[in-house]
Structure 1
Amino acid sequence: MEKQTSANKPHIMTIPYPYQGHMNPMLQFSKRLASKGVQITILATNDVKTSKLAHTSSINIEYISYEIEQGDEIPKSVAAGLGYVNHKVLKRVPGIIEKHKASGSPIKVIVYDSLIHGALELAHKLGLRGASLFTQTCAVCSVYYHVQRGSLALPLEGHTVSLPSIPVLEIEDLPSLVQAHDRLYPGLLEVIKKQFVDLEKAEWIFFNVFDKLEEEIAKWLSSQWPIKTIGPSIPSMFLDKRLPDDRDYGLNLFKPDAEACIKWLSAKATGSVVYVSFGSVANLAQNHMDELAWGLLNSNINFLWVVRETEQNKLPGNFKAEASEKGLVVSWCPQLEVLAHKAVGSFMTHCGWNSTLEALSLGMPMLVMPQWADQTTNAKYVVDVWQTGVWVKARDKEIFTREDITNRIKDVMDGAKGEELRVNAIKWKEQAVEAMSEGGSSDKNIDEFISKVISTTT
């Protein structure tokens, strides 16, 4: 698609949820739209003012604070906190819409994170059209949708669940919020279910996946709503390489120690390092941290391990000294650069969707250690559907041991299983690149979206 002229340049507002795993996909989608000549205004937190994103000339930024205002009740649960974010967004957006309308560059469409309940109703109330972006997989969203409409009754009974167009799932393969039926985080499952309320009224529904990755379930969801796949939403230079300046997300809620990571990796042999990271939220119990630390060291394989500052007090007291020859522990790192580095041979991951999609897009075998939420279902797909990973612990075990860690690392890094995983991982990498390249499925879907926006606003 050719870039739009100033005369017919559509103006779209994008509203990400203010968590790293939700912000990155929306930001990348915004960049893609901007690269095709769309005028983009993104609603971002005040933290962004010091980031690379703040200096991106192709995207206009409106800022929002999610701090508790005087007189507002302090949220007492995760669900209440999510509700407060929605309240702040819905309060802030009308003023932004009016501002741009008065400037002669009116916003015509709002693309909002699916968790921002009320955004679609607000868009329509303001005379705009709305598009919902789901930052989890089609399979995970399908499970939640069946819970919402009552076709998957809770509490769960039996040992397996059979739903349209996805493999038979054991109970432990379902999202943890469904398994626990809201016992862990009261009210949170109800918040998740609200993503589907009045969803049929949305003009567009987007998923951060690519067509061949979830072909069957995407087709089934298309029979329910007008969904389109627009992923993988990761920087272009790691995929189709059509946007030379798009080399990173431009936003990190944590400060990566990029120089130390890349320098250390560059001194290692090709495919000799296992990269270990459990994302921006997961917290390992002390016994899990101990087993993981000594399992990594006992494998005698090079490792790069991300342990957030708030978690480093859980490391065994003498671990860093004992691991200095084989391992590097950092508080954060540039994950895409690490996964793309020739020295990295596998990725031990919690299976958050962004991390999983990055690994698939870069052809990286995985060792899966899901923690909660959608990660359990993502892990099931990585191991049994996409066949690019292995479970770290046996499914019938409550916890993993250092022996589990050591053995699975050796399986993936040195064994025949690892070769099989690498072949499959490269296949998905090629299909991810194809989807985002010119004329690919996701590229076409983005072009069609822009064309429809233009045709109904001129």
Structure 2
Amino acid sequence: MLGLYLTVSFSGETISCKQRNDGERTRKAHCLVLTYPTQGHINPMLQFAKLHHHKGLKVTLVTTHFLLNTLQLHAGSSKCNIALETISDGYEEGGFATAESTDAYLNRFWEIGPQTLTKLLRRMSSSEYPVDCIVYDAFMPWSLDVAKKFGIFGAIFFTQTVEASFSGGDEEILIPGLQLPLEAVDFPSFLCDLGSYPAVYDMVVGQFSNVDEADWILCNTFHELEPEARPTIPSMYLDNRLKEDKDYGVSLFKQNNDACMKWLNEQPKVSVVYVSFGSGAELGAEQMEELAWGLRSSKSNFLWVVRESEAGKIPKGFVEETSENGLVVSWCPQLEVLAHEAVGCFITHCGWNSTLESLSLGVPLLAMPQWTDQGTNAKYIMDVWKTGLKALADEKGIVRKDVVEHCIIEIMEGETGKESKECYEMEASG
């Protein structure tokens, strides 16, 4: 009789499978890691896959046809060696960017995705390594339904923080498991304003449609934030279990690695403000202008990542006027930048991946949240973890240049940055 034994540690240390056939052939267990096709979801799940490939599992990363063809991919290098497979989102030629709307994209993906995942599992069922377990992005709960049809295990993977619903009122709300009361402004944007982002709201709420049926629940976090946990960022920056593992292995954008690192190497220690709003956040032209002049007024050295699609919002003449102490690039190796001794502050939208990376590497944050869970993350950065400041916006929702300047100076020269760095050093020393 065939028996499958699967062991999971919620610290992220182990998810190992052994399959025994009562004295007959023993094979390596096979885990399929299915990710939602955006940068912020692929990176932590690919890192998860790499860690468990290192533990001895057969691991296959699955994304969409279009995305695989556009990735700046390092997954096949000697540092990773993760097998790759694809399913369809219904938009093979251009992915999400060619969809008529967010609703149209999700509806099509939710129709085609389960069908092509089923075909993939059928093909693999007759291979040397049939699938034993699917670790799937929480944004795609239909993956568990497909797994159950094949009689295999399903583990839901949350790449973001835990969220709760909220509506109406200005009173503070205390949620079990959280360390302090939250006001309406601190809740994820699509929860405190239920009429906004309907497609995103449906997808976020949909994560929990069958969560009680999953065999395991995995979350991307770490021990100092929540006991018995570990973040999925490259091992070299945490415990060095994977030697020379310095990057996630995948990028949707062309990186200016050499220019960034060469410039950083020429800067004094703890002198640079690193600015990046991730792969999805879009600042308005007015906010970009205020941020730019705030950076200039602070007189700090800065490295600012501005995606090519956002470059037109940079104020005219800004790059030339600040060329002696600033560098603007379209993308960069964020982990290497945050780990560099020259970096003393990170201005961020507070996406969960960026937040984890900065906390793990001891870089104080200046929080400028934009939407989704970023407001909640910013609340914790300032009031619970005390690892930075939240830049306050005016009645138009704009963080003005004088606020940017003041916050940068406070972090780079004041007590906020000093306390954050001392706290990190104490944690790092044990």
Whole-angstrom distance in 1 between the partners of 2:235 and 2:422: 23
Contact 2:347 2:365 in 1 (8 A): yes
Whole-angstrom distance in 2 between the partners of 1:233 and 1:2: 14
Contact 1:299 1:409 in 2 (8 A): yes
Whole-angstrom distance in 2 between the partners of 1:76 and 1:397: 29
Partner of 2:73: 51
Match of 2:84 among 61, 66, 70: 61
Q: Secondary structure at the match of 2:91?
A: coil
Whole-angstrom distance in 2 between the partners of 1:86 and 1:429: 43
1:110 aligns with 2:134: yes
Whole-angstrom distance in 2 between the partners of 1:232 and 1:407: 32
How far off its partner does 1:81 sit? 2.1
Match of 1:85 among 109, 127, 140: 109
Whole-angstrom distance in 1 between the partners of 2:221 and 2:360: 10
Partner of 2:204: 192
Normalization by structure 2: what TM-score?
0.88
How far off its partner does 1:430 sit? 6.3
Unaligned 5+ segments in structure 2 are 1-13, 19-24
Moved more, 390-399 or 197-206: 390-399
Residue 415 of structure 2 aligns with an amino acid whose one-letter code is A
Whole-angstrom distance in 1 between the partners of 2:269 and 2:92: 52
Moved more, 82-91 or 303-312: 82-91
Q: Secondary structure at the match of 2:52?
A: helix
1:362 aligns with 2:385: no
Matches within 5 A, 1:303-322: 303-322=302-321
Contact 1:79 1:185 in 2 (8 A): no
Contact 2:234 2:245 in 1 (8 A): yes
Whole-angstrom distance in 2 between the partners of 1:284 and 1:362: 26
Whole-angstrom distance in 1 between the partners of 2:139 and 2:320: 44
How far off its partner does 1:80 sit? 3.7
Whole-angstrom distance in 2 between the partners of 1:254 and 1:387: 32
1:30 aligns with 2:30: no
1:175 aligns with 2:195: no
With over 3 angstroms needed to count, the CA separation of the structure-2 counterparts of 1:84 and 1:267, relative to structure 1, is same
Q: Secondary structure at the match of 1:200?
A: helix
Normalization by structure 1: what TM-score?
0.83
How far off its partner does 1:98 sit? 1.8
How far off its partner does 1:428 sit? 5.5
With over 3 angstroms needed to count, the CA separation of the structure-2 counterparts of 1:292 and 1:158, relative to structure 1, is closer
Whole-angstrom distance in 2 between the partners of 1:395 and 1:179: 18
Contact 1:364 1:426 in 2 (8 A): no
Whole-angstrom distance in 1 between the partners of 2:386 and 2:394: 16
Whole-angstrom distance in 1 between the partners of 2:92 and 2:272: 47
Partner of 1:296: 295
Contact 2:236 2:246 in 1 (8 A): yes
Partner of 2:392: 393
Task: Determine which structure has the larger helix proportion and give its number.
Answer: 1
Q: Secondary structure at the match of 2:218?
A: strand
1:203 aligns with 2:225: no
1:236 aligns with 2:238: no
Matches within 5 A, 1:203-222: 203-215=215-227
Partner of 1:442: none
Whole-angstrom distance in 2 between the partners of 1:35 and 1:24: 17
Whole-angstrom distance in 2 between the partners of 1:75 and 1:430: 49
With over 3 angstroms needed to count, the CA separation of the structure-2 counterparts of 1:160 and 1:2, relative to structure 1, is closer
Whole-angstrom distance in 2 between the partners of 1:111 and 1:430: 34
With over 3 angstroms needed to count, the CA separation of the structure-2 counterparts of 1:249 and 1:2, relative to structure 1, is closer
Unaligned 5+ segments in structure 1 are 216-227, 432-458
- Root mean square deviation, CA, Å: 2.5
Q: Secondary structure at the match of 2:332?
A: coil
Q: Deviation string for 1:221-247 (max 9, x for gaps)?
A: xxxxxxx74x31011111111211422
Moved more, 244-253 or 380-389: 244-253
Matches within 5 A, 1:250-399: 250-393=249-392, 398-399=397-398
Moved more, 58-67 or 88-97: 58-67
Q: Deviation string for 1:372-407 (max 9, x for gaps)?
A: 001000111111111101012268783211111111
Higher relative contact order (CA 8 A, sep 6+): 1
Residue 235 of structure 2 aligns with an amino acid whose one-letter code is S
1:15 aligns with 2:34: yes
Residue 334 of structure 1 aligns with an amino acid whose one-letter code is P
Whole-angstrom distance in 2 between the partners of 1:95 and 1:174: 39
Whole-angstrom distance in 2 between the partners of 1:114 and 1:53: 22
Whole-angstrom distance in 2 between the partners of 1:278 and 1:247: 21
How far off its partner does 1:110 sit? 0.5
How far off its partner does 1:429 sit? 5.5
How far off its partner does 1:157 sit? 2.4
Whole-angstrom distance in 1 between the partners of 2:341 and 2:155: 38
With over 3 angstroms needed to count, the CA separation of the structure-2 counterparts of 1:418 and 1:104, relative to structure 1, is closer
Moved more, 245-254 or 25-34: 245-254
Moved more, 414-423 or 278-287: 414-423
